[in-house]
Structures are given as structure tokens and as C-alpha cells.
Structure 1
């Protein structure tokens, strides 16, 4: 845990250079009543003592739980080579590739990542990622508003509620009309959705599979949106795109996703990356960095940043976006992860995850009082209705070594007994069996 301490003499020298007498003078412009009364920091300690304290705190974390928790973030296997390759210093020390003559490796990696994402979503273009899935959805919404010059956004209630909270927060002062279409027992209500679309609609936003795990085909919905010249936006789960009908096949204009499931460890919530892809008609509305492939005067292949100003965020209110960084290292992890798995490996990962989820649904719904809440086709995630409060079940089973899922009542009023259960290729039939028997004993 390295750090660089400054001696009192060094502090004095730095203050002298900038022309102030004390550290407090640096904050002279802040009124006294607004300054912190105390940072409540402990006294300094030795490096050995600090390391011992941090190790003690880390040891309090429970790392041997069997988890069926999903809700947008999934525990997929990551090949060891991903860490080995992404940890090379030329990758993890590189930042913004403004000078293409000195950044060909980084630019090529970004270009290949974009190519992989565009192929996965079956759309024309991808950017070099934004912060996370929720940020990507917000940026996609603004793309639609700029393109259509409209303010009405129709959102499915079956969209990840975390993303809906982010969308509502980010657009609070943008004078947009967010219309939420209620879910129908965990399914996206396409009939109500279609009825809500009119000539004032800028975009329709759906998710596939949706937050309840339900799989839909939005081809007809998107066709209706296009009839009204609205933009069709879909949030996806990248792994399952290997087996599901793609956003491009359905007619989506923009597809976004949380990239955690393809190469990023869960890591207490980050860092992750937001995947963004779109059709050619919307490429100039896309935020973030975009790498392009070209040739120099001698016919040699080269890679450059393209279609955007060097720092678009300095254009203030005229900027496409205020995002002024990206998740290039996380994007590189995703690229390496997909390359190591290949088309067949990603396909097998998706199928195994779906198979384990369906096996889990059979075992769990065989328990008296437990019913399947998710109606119709589902992927690697599904919701069940318990005879008791889901929060109580989570508390009991976690103490016995199993995280049984996500309580839907946290975001959906009236669904306090519903539990969202997820499986991946790492979930074994033995773990599912143990989960089912412990749950049976607790109900």
C-alpha cells in the first residue's frame, strides 16, 4: 500500500512557491461557516500497522457464499489470460490516444472492441464505451432527443429500475416527458406500449431480457415506433446476444448494455463499462470516443479517433456529451474476454446459463407454496413468488451460505414476496439442489 508522505519542510517549500503562508490560506475564499469543522481523521500510523488494520477489515468479508444474485450484474467465469494481458504496462498506463502516431496499439484495441460490439448487437457502429449501462441508456436517450427534436420518452417499467432511477435523475432539468408503461406480471406490456406511441415520441426504451428475465421480440413495436419517426432503444444482456434475436434483427436504432458480464469481475460494483451501438444514421449523435481505421500516404493501415472534436466537452452546451473520459481498459478486458471465448464459447456460456436457470426454476417451483412469477420464455434469470416476504428469506438463507436472489419489492410496490433468481455457467446443479432443499426447509 504505497504512499508519498510530505514532511513539514516540504509543505513549507510548496506553500512558499505558490505564495501563501499556510494550507488554510488555500481555502480562504470559502466562508468559515461552510468549512468542515473536523475531518475526524485518526492519528497517523506506521505502514505495518495500517496494513494489518486493512487486512483485518478485508478478512471480515464473506467470500464463500453461493450466489443466485443477478439483477443486471452477473458472476460469469473470466479466463485467467484476461488479467494477464490487460495488466501489461502498455495497456494499463495508456490514457487518451490523442496522438495516433504514438497510440496505435490502444487505438487498434479500441477499434477491435467497437467491431466486436457492433457484431454482437448486429448494428453498424459502436463507440469506445461510456461509464456503465445506465449512463449508456441516458446517452442513448439524448441521442434520440437531438435527432428527433422531440421531448417524449416512453419507458418500460420492466427496464432495470436502477437505470430508470438514473434516467429520471439525469433528465430532471432537461424538460423531458418520461412516460412509464407498467409491466404485465413481469412481461413487457407491448400492447400498452404500442398504444402510447404518437408523433410527439422521441424514443421508446425497452430491455431484452427484461429485468424480470422475460424474453421478448420487439420487432413489431420498433416498426410502430419507426412509423411515428421515433427512435427505438434497447438495453440488452451481452452474453445472451449469442443466442437471442439481436437488436439489429428487431430493428433497434440504438442498443446499449452493461459490459460487466463480458470480462469484468463484480468487484463490489465497478469499474464497469457501458456498451453503445447504433445505426449509421445516428453515428454523429454518438458520444464517447470512436476509433476509425484508415491508410497513410504509403498505404499502411493506421488507426485514429474520428467523427468528433478532440475534446468535445469543451464545446459546453453544443457538445454531443459532457463525458470526457471512457472505460478503455474495461473495454479491452471485454475484447480479450470475447476473443478468448470465441463465437462458440460465448454461445455455450449463454446456453449453459439458460439451462441452469430453467433447472433451478423446476427445482424451486416444486417446493409447496413457491410459484413461477415470470410468465413465458426467460433467459438465465426468472422471478418466483414465495409464500412469505422475500427479504426474510434472503436474510435466513444468507446466514446459511446462500444468497438466493434479488428482492423485487425493493423497487416494485406489491412484489414484496417476489424473488429474482439468476444463474450463470458457474452455477452447478449441486448448488441449485442445495438451495432448493434449504429453501424448502425454511418455508
Structure 2
């Protein structure tokens, strides 16, 4: 069967079967002004195998995370994902499952989401977690809106250590609301956000480890916020850190938002990701998304249902708690499988290994002439100051096959104070040889 008929007779025969007189008649429903006057400026169609060969050639130009020494972090981290995860999530009953509206036929999906929520609540130290959001950045914006609903206040204060992408998403959600206060970043250690809290503040947003890798004093932030009647939102972009640092919930956080990509979800050219959100039990009805719960059926046997779904947008969108319409179910499943494989002890060991690798990286960096480590505290990510622009150094190292981190100027382009700064991350996949290659490359580039 040909893709297009090659003769007038063949075209006429096909048009006759369809019931029209001409090719143009197929587009009669399209207004004339919307029709193109000439063909699209694209190459002619090609055989499938030639298109595949072309795409392979383009893909071969990429330098992927596993192709050499890799120290990129800044919100997206390279971790080992067991083959079991990919095998299980590609089973058809998981891959095609969608919203579990009918619990009687969705028990597997509901149970998985219930387990996922339990894991997220456990690692964040909170009472309850939802069934995932899109990603950490939109989750942060949703947490800000949630805090406004809970406190009936409008003023939101974003720490200077909040990831620039997260800050920008919050600003987009709030449409540059004048009640949104974005504090400036200080790479050596953030200015004291606590001094800016007043009686009109709905919430302060603090990231730990922050964008520059510093660990923040969550307990002090919680106490200061609560003293003024405000809430504390804690953001975590590297969820593996929760295996080692004290859970934000235990330190007084009211809402915890995290990016779950590090567990079960490999780097994949920017996504998809999975947003984690957990909060206190008394705030549950203002939490966006949905909540799966455990119950018993008419026979007294265990079953799972949607305990809470705040998706009022179906019938009264203007009064909806949130207009987030779905969750990252498949990514949440990958997270849950990986977390189950690790177990609590394995999760802690993974976190300790990440920190140990970062300590080895920090020691190597401090031994390079001209490199200044800005962190007094870190988990697996840190910031260095170089004697020349960070972006130039990163490009020079990339030409040597080393992906050495993220120049801060890429994410904070309008601040001349960050031109020489680079954020680097080390994970359990960072080897001694990788660190040695980076140190040698830096010495060469900075010489």
C-alpha cells in the first residue's frame, strides 16, 4: 500500500471512496484565511529508515551524563536507577493506567499511590503527603497559594537561596504580585530572611540544601515564622539529602515541597519529573491534588480509595482549591519502586555515600590553585569561585569531555557578582577518577 497515490486515476479512486470530488474539498471546513498559500518550508518526506538514521546522527552529537566525568546538579541529579524500576514501570497495567476514579477496578494504582504517599510523609517528617504533583517548582508555587488560603494573608517571602527556576515559577503563578518578596542571593550564605517576617506574612520559603549547596537552619526559620503567625515552606531539590539531614517536619516545617527526580527517575533531557508535597494533618483540606487512603470493603477486607480529591475545577473552576488536573503517576511509581528497593537503611546509606563523594570533591577542588570553595556546609552540592568567568571555564572543560557543573550566570544572568561562580554536585556515581580528571582539567584551564 502506497503512502500517496502516484496517478490521477488512483487519486480519483481514493477520493471516490471518501465521497469528495477533489483534494481541496477535504479542507472545506477550514476558513480560507487559515489555509497556507504555499507548501511549508520543510524537506520533502523521507523513508522511515532514513529519518531514523538522521535522528541517530543528531543524537550522536550529544554528550550524555554517562559519557564522562559529570558534576552537573542545580536541581537535576544523576543517580543510579536499578534496572528493576524500568522493568516494572513498563508493565502494561502500570504504563497505561490513569486517574483511579473507579476504585473497584483501580486497586493496584491506588495502593501504589498510598505507598508513595507513605514514603514521602516518612522522609519529610510530615503527617500526610499527596499523590504527587508535576515537579518541585510548580509544587512550590502550589504551596505558596496553599499558605495564602490557610493564613488569609498575602505576603510571601522567598529566600535568596531558592533555586532561580523555582523563584521564576512562583512569580509566574502570582503574576508579579507586589506582595511577593524575592530576597537577593548571597552565595557565601544567605541574608537573614527572618528579619523580613512581619504580621502580614503568609509564609516564608526556604530551600535546604539551598541553590548554592548550603544547609539552612530550618528550626530557627520555623520558630521565627510561627512567632508572627506565618507558615514555613521548606523546599528540597535533592531528595536524597533527606536520607541524612533531619526531616523538615521534625524541625517545624508546615509544608514541605521536594523534587523527587533523584529517586527512580533518571536524567532524560529535562524530564519528566515528580513533585512531592507533604503537610500537617490540620492543613489537609487546603492541599492541592488528591489523596489516596486505606479502608475496608463490605466484607471487611482491606481496600484503597481516593480519600480526598480537590479537583473542583470539573464543576466550579473559579472556586477550586487548585487547578492542577493530574499527577506524575508513572514517575511516582518509579520513585516508589526505587524507594522500596532501597528501604530505610538503604536510603540512609545512599545519602551517606553521596555526602562522602561530595567531601572528596571538595577536598580536590580546594587543592586547585585559584579555586575558592564558598561552602561551610553542604550535602552533595557546593559552589566555587574561580578567577575567570565560570561559563568560559565550563565550556573549556566540556571540550575536554568533562561536564563540570553549572555556571551560576546561566541561571542568574543579570547579577555581575555571580559571573565567576560555578555550582557542582557529586553523587554515588562520581568516581575518584572523575574527581581527578576535573581537578587536572581545572588546573590546566586556569593556568
TM-score (norm 2): 0.91
C-alpha change, 1:300 and 1:165, in structure 2 (3 Å) is same
Offset of 1:149 from its aligned partner? 1.7
Asked if structure 2 preserves the Cα contact closer than 8 Å seen for 1:15 and 1:23, the reply is: no
Mapped partners of 2:17, 2:204: distance in 1:
59
Task: Give the corresponding residue for 2:327.
Answer: 326
Offset of 1:21 from its aligned partner? 7.4
Q: Secondary structure at the match of 2:261?
A: helix
Task: Give the corresponding residue for 1:339.
Answer: 340
Task: Give the corresponding residue for 1:380.
Answer: 380
Mapped partners of 2:174, 2:323: distance in 1:
14
C-alpha change, 1:11 and 1:248, in structure 2 (3 Å) is farther
Mapped partners of 1:6, 1:289: distance in 2:
48
Gaps in structure 1 of 5+ consecutive residues: none
Deviations 1:393-425 (A, max 9, x none): 111100101011110122341111111110000
Deviations 1:69-93 (A, max 9, x none): 0001100111111111111111001
Asked if structure 1 preserves the Cα contact closer than 8 Å seen for 2:244 and 2:352, the reply is: yes
Mapped partners of 1:246, 1:145: distance in 2:
24
Task: Give the corresponding residue for 1:415.
Answer: 418
Mapped partners of 1:211, 1:233: distance in 2:
15
Task: Give the corresponding residue for 1:197.
Answer: 197
Q: Secondary structure at the match of 1:402?
A: coil
Q: Secondary structure at the match of 1:69?
A: coil
Asked if structure 1 preserves the Cα contact closer than 8 Å seen for 2:214 and 2:377, the reply is: yes
Comparing 392-401 and 281-290, the one that deviates more: 281-290
Asked if structure 2 preserves the Cα contact closer than 8 Å seen for 1:356 and 1:427, the reply is: yes
Asked if structure 2 preserves the Cα contact closer than 8 Å seen for 1:225 and 1:232, the reply is: yes
1:181 to 166, 183, 186: 183
How well do the aligned residues superpose, as a CA RMSD in angstroms?
A: 2.4
1:86 to 85, 89, 92: 89
Mapped partners of 1:11, 1:238: distance in 2:
58
Offset of 1:5 from its aligned partner? 7.2
- The number of residues matched between the two structures is 431
Q: How does 1:191-270 map to 2 (within 5 A)?
A: 193-236=193-236, 237-270=238-271
C-alpha change, 1:49 and 1:111, in structure 2 (3 Å) is same
C-alpha change, 1:309 and 1:427, in structure 2 (3 Å) is closer
Gaps in structure 2 of 5+ consecutive residues: 6-10
Q: Does 1:307 align with 2:308?
A: yes
Task: Give the corresponding residue for 1:124.
Answer: 127
Asked if structure 1 preserves the Cα contact closer than 8 Å seen for 2:312 and 2:319, the reply is: no
Mapped partners of 1:38, 1:12: distance in 2:
25
Deviations 1:17-72 (A, max 9, x none): xxx974544442x9549x79764333222222222222222222223132100001
Q: Secondary structure at the match of 2:293?
A: strand
C-alpha change, 1:393 and 1:293, in structure 2 (3 Å) is same
